[in-house]
Structure 1
Amino acid sequence: MPDHRSYQDPFYGWTTPKAISLCVHALKDCSSLPFDSIKKLISLSETQILHEETTPSSLEILTKMSKKYSVSIEQLILIFNGFVHVIRLALKPPAAFLKSDTFKDDLRDLKFSDQIIEEFHNILFGAKRDQLYNVIQERDRPRLPLLQTFDWNLDVTLTTASLSRCIEPLLLFQFRTTDNRNLSFEVPIKKFNELRYNTALLLKEMEEVDGKQALKLLET
């Protein structure tokens, strides 16, 4: 694990994301837009992160700004989208990996004004930092289909005089997942017992690892 004190990469990566690049250019083209309106767009960006989707009220505000300051709605959307990208990317690494001064330097490299940088800084290093970070991590984590139904049957074939050997019983498992897939497989009793044993062994080893003092120190 890298020491966070040696973390020097820009929070947005080595290539400027297109959404941020377009945002910076749109800000230059919208010189008639006062800073109070830009500040409002940054606040709306934070709201979108928390609620995932642009609300109708946000679109209303963008429309009113467009009419009031004679700025095209397309330009405002580019600015708004770029602000959302800045916040999302800055929330990717844990707080310990993103230093205040480094964050400001990265934004200066992107050609944002000092006023805008300060507004972003207040959001990313303010009281809602943990809440925003948790929302992003929960939303962006990989998601696998969940188990919807589970059935099993024991398939036993009785021996007869015509059979020269005993046929081993089979366990038939049938699953239905939340992505509407039906899965089924057969397992001999012997193999199923091996699975039970290895699962129990794995759980025991996980408990032992969880109790290691070194891992507890890392968590703190």
Structure 2
Amino acid sequence: MSQQLELLTESPSQWVTVSFVTPEIQKKEIKPFVALALKELEGTPDSRTASLMSTDKFSAVRSVVRYVARLRSATREPWDEGDVRTFLEGLRFSQDCITELSTLLCVDSLYENIPRHLRVKPGVISMQWKIDVSLSQTNIQADNASEIRTKEILHRDTYIILIFELTDGRTNIYRLSINKFHEMRYNIASALKSMIVLEKRKCMRRD
């Protein structure tokens, strides 16, 4: 599975309702629905949206357009049409609609006017880490340190190197002291705990 397809299909549960409607959508409806959805995204909604008869169909297409448009900001590369087609097939669009919609969604200029607050920050593909003891070893030798002093220097001058590979192709490298590394671990654990508590609340559950 390509990175783009993995990004597109990472939340399958959110498409259950959409998948009930998509088989009913006709090819001729795709282009006007996409145009109206983009107008909404750009902050200039079209008055014709309020008078639509097929609100369920438009809502389904709008959800796809918003999702794909927001994810597009997380990668610097244009969408691969094969990946987009696979994603749309999973949503049960007809083949005619898949051809029409995938062609439209793969036009890169489509996303030029998406407001910044709707854009997605790059995701993390992988993280690697290593321990850098070069500075501590140098200082231990320079000080001719005792055993107790060696432990102090190791704790003070040992660093953790974190290497993050992002979905937009960038690689970010961070150098943290041991204290900062443990602080980061604590903050991440606290955030995850808060997320678990929120997910258990009734207001966060989907029927």
Q: TM-score, normalised by structure 1?
A: 0.43
Structure 1 or 2, whichever has the larger Rg, is: 1
Q: TM-score, normalised by structure 2?
A: 0.45
Structure (1 or 2) with the greater helix fraction:
2
